[in-house]
A and B are shown apart, each in its own frame.
Chain A
């Protein structure tokens, strides 16, 4: 049987405010346990929450960036459940009147098509603390530093139909919130966490199947794997004539397996009700206008500009514009290097590969966009070969040198482009290889001839101590062999 896959996402985005959503405690990451958990965060009797204006500004900026309606009078509800890392016994969240109403995001797919994913709403809420289940004499340790950190939870419509679309949406959203500067986007530290709702239905059917929710995926790769895993699991059950149980599942990326966390029958009854400690929050036009005026260039606009200004193709422009830090790095390299296409190739090739290999982000890069730009200049003007350029890049990366030109001099990487000197080397090499020359001249297939040229390049590079311009050598060779 053929199945349609239906996917909706819920994304928790940690807002990059200095303080918590309802208290003036710092949200800085990595502090000693519980040193940033104060009376309000600990739910001490007699304390009252006071909302952080910046959290609302960030939520409004997000709403504007995803083409959504902004709720001018939003409210908070209490979502009641018991867990030790939730000191109040409820999470303060928004249910009836979330700050961000319906909106949408357009995603680019590998086949060149664009797809619109609708956003149902996004609401403000507080994060919980962390429970550490290591052995504390049979007890659980609780760190409440994270309790009360502002989040927006973004809820999509079930508009995605495969892992590629879901991951494209997740990456797009990551690009939007990091461009806005409302989230640091560091997924390894939990700054963005994805819950994936998945159901299957017979191909073409109008009725949605029973869905499961896979929670807390914190990398794009795990998200892709978890979707593949869950689709396969559901398909196996359905094709054996079974039924899907509505449940929450946990995915273990390291083992590529999932297990049930809770089923709907045992699902919590959250007993939502309006939070009596918080009045309705009114957002006026001037607040929204101010947020609108503070919006930076967003990935879609940046992509269009990269295509227009630098002549990049759709794919390259989209990839660079999707990550605001990578985009800034590219722009610095392209402005300095003049050759934007070459700069784009180096940013996406050598530079990105190196970052990935060392699990670094652009912010941790040991080299600057300007340095890469200087390198691009020397590749473009033929001062160095691409092999030489890789050596310069390596020296920049490891900190062996800072100036591209100084590295080229120190390592003797300057190509010899003096045609007179190169011609003399070609004559010498050809004279020493009469058999190969004769073979070449007897060959009638130009393709085979082209291959045979390689046989001369080795000795030529050796004769020039690796400094001959390969492009010029090639030209001279073809000309002389054809004589």
Chain B
């Protein structure tokens, strides 16, 4: 299996990572190798194997529905780049 430049550029956009042309060429080769390796796994017969949900053989612990967190807004907002009226400010995003 190979990965195209277009795939890499698309994934980069979705992940909000900037990659230049040179990096795309390198990624094309590296990711292609990884995908080839994954392809080899496809040769294994997995018909009778249930897909694994998690590498740990354990089940999730659940929590009682009780409020355990207090308001820490000031501390969190002290490290935010911009806030106003209690809101976090971010570059304008309009869908």
Q: Which residues of A contact B85 (CB under 8 A)?
A: 33, 141
Q: Give chain B's interface residue range (CB within 8 Å of chain A).
A: 35 or more
**Known pairs A24-B69, A26-B67, A38-B72; A140 contacts B92 (CB<8 A):** yes
**Residue B46 at the chain A interface, CB threshold 8 Å:** no
Chain B positions within 8 Å of A84 at CB level: 88, 90, 93
Contact assessment for A140 and B67 in the assembled complex, using a CB-CB cutoff below 8 Å:
no
Q: Closest Cβ of chain A: how far from B73's Cβ, in Å?
A: 5
Across the interface, which residues of A come within 8 angstroms of B82, CB to CB? 139
Once the chains bind, are B86 and A75 in contact (CB under 8 Å)? Answer: no
Question: Secondary structure at chain A's binding surface: helix, strand, loop or mixed?
Answer: loop
Q: Does A202 sit within 8 A of B, measured CB to CB?
A: no
Select B73's contact among A23, A34, A97, A142, beta carbons within 8 Å. Answer: A34
Residues of A within 8 A of B66 (CB): 18-19, 24
Q: Mark B55-79, 1 if CB is under 8 A from A, else 0.
A: 0101111111111110111001100
1/0 contact trace for B32-63 toward A, CB 8 Å? 00000000000000000001011010111111
Of A151-159, A278-286, A428-436, the one with at least 4 CB within 8 A of chain B: A278-286
Interface pair A25/B69, CB less than 8 Å apart = yes
Contact A37 B73 (CB under 8 A): yes
Interface of B is mostly: loop
Tell whether A51 is near chain B: CB-to-CB under 8 Å.
yes
The docked-state distance in angstroms from the alpha carbon of A231 to that of B54 is: 44
B84: CB under 8 A from chain A?
yes
Please give, as numbers and ranges, the residues of chain A lying within 8 Å of B76 by CB-CB distance. Answer: 34, 37-39, 42, 44
Asked if B10 lies at the interface with its beta carbon under 8 angstroms from chain A, I say yes
Q: Does A409 have its Cβ within 8 Å of any Cβ on chain B?
A: no
Q: A23 to B63, alpha carbons, bound, how many Å?
A: 9
Chain A CB count within 10 A is highest, among B60, B71, B73, for B60
A residues 134-174 near B (Cβ < 8 Å) are 136-144
* A268-B59 Cα distance, complex, nearest whole Å: 31
Measured between beta carbons, the chain A residues less than 8 angstroms from B59 are: 73, 279-282
Question: Does A240 sit at the interface, judged by CB under 8 A?
Answer: no
Q: Is there a chain A Cβ closer than 8 Å to B21's Cβ?
A: no
A82 within 8 A of B: yes
Contact of A361 with B by CB under 8 A:
no
Known: A23-B69, A42-B76. A139 touches B63 (CB 8 A): no
Asked whether, in the complex, the Cβ of B62 is within 8 Å of the Cβ of A56, the reply is yes
Whether A142 pairs with B87 at a CB distance below 8 angstroms is yes
A38 touching B86 in the complex, CB below 8 Å, given contacts A52-B62, A84-B93: no
Instruction: Please tell me if the beta carbons of B87 and A271 are within 8 angstroms of each other in the complex.
Output: no
Q: Does B22 interact with chain A (Cβ within 8 Å)?
A: no
Q: Which residues of A contact B69 (CB under 8 A)?
A: 19, 23-26, 36, 38-39
Interface contact A140-B60, CB-CB below 8 Å: no
Chain A residues near B61: list those with CB within 8 A. Answer: 50
List, in ascending order, chain B residues with CB within 8 A of A83's CB.
Answer: 93, 95
Does A54 sit within 8 A of B, measured CB to CB? yes
Contact call A131/B14, Cβ cutoff below 8 A: no
In the assembled complex, A113 has its CB within 8 A of some CB on chain B: no
19 sampled A-B residue pairs with Cβ under 8 A: A24-B68, A25-B67, A32-B73, A33-B86, A34-B76, A36-B69, A39-B72, A50-B61, A53-B65, A75-B54, A131-B93, A132-B87, A136-B87, A139-B89, A140-B93, A278-B60, A280-B53, A280-B54, A280-B60
Please give 13 more A-B residue pairs, beta carbons under 8 A apart, in addition to A17-B65, A141-B89, A269-B14.
Answer: A38-B69, A42-B76, A51-B60, A52-B62, A53-B64, A73-B59, A138-B92, A141-B88, A142-B89, A279-B54, A279-B58, A281-B60, A282-B60
Residues in B lying within 8 Å of A, measured CB to CB: 10, 14, 16, 51, 53-54, 56, 58-69, 71-73, 76-77, 82, 84-95
